[in-house]
Amino acid sequence: MFYNWSYTNRLGGRPTDRVSGVYGRLKRDKGHFLFRNGWEVPQVFDIDEEGMLSTLSREYQMVTNKCGVIDMSWKGKIEVKGEDSDALMNYAICTQ
């Protein structure tokens, strides 16, 4: 049985139609994409003539110490419904 690990950038079957709603914007913003779980997801963004390692380091620092948006569409979605759904999400995500 073959299992495609989520971190494997498999080139076969690309390009795929499985892209997130922000794919066009990310592509326009010079995103370099890889294949993850059947989705095209951004790996890194070019900023002028900055190298990939420098770009990754800068993005990591921004997301860790300030604020960043990460496209997690390829991870899947869970719909939480019910009377206590807000309380559950606050507990799970915000530790309230």
Average pLDDT taken over every residue of the chain: 80
Going by C-beta distance under 8 Å and a sequence separation of 6 or more, which residues neighbour residue 4? 10, 37
Tens digit of each residue's pLDDT, the chain (96 residues): 445 555 566 666 666 778 888 889 989 988 888 888 778 888 888 777 777 788 888 888 988 999 877 788 788 777 899 999 999 988 888 865
pTM above 0.95, yes or no: no
Taking CA atoms, 71 is separated from 24, 40, 65, 85, in Å, by 12, 10, 18, 23
In angstroms, rounded to a whole number, what is the distance separating the alpha carbons of residues 22 and 28? 10
**What is the reported pLDDT for 74?**
81
**What is the reported pLDDT for 5?**
57
- DSSP lists the bridge partners of residue 31 as 45
Residue ranges of domains in the chain: 23-94
**What is the reported pLDDT for 33?**
86
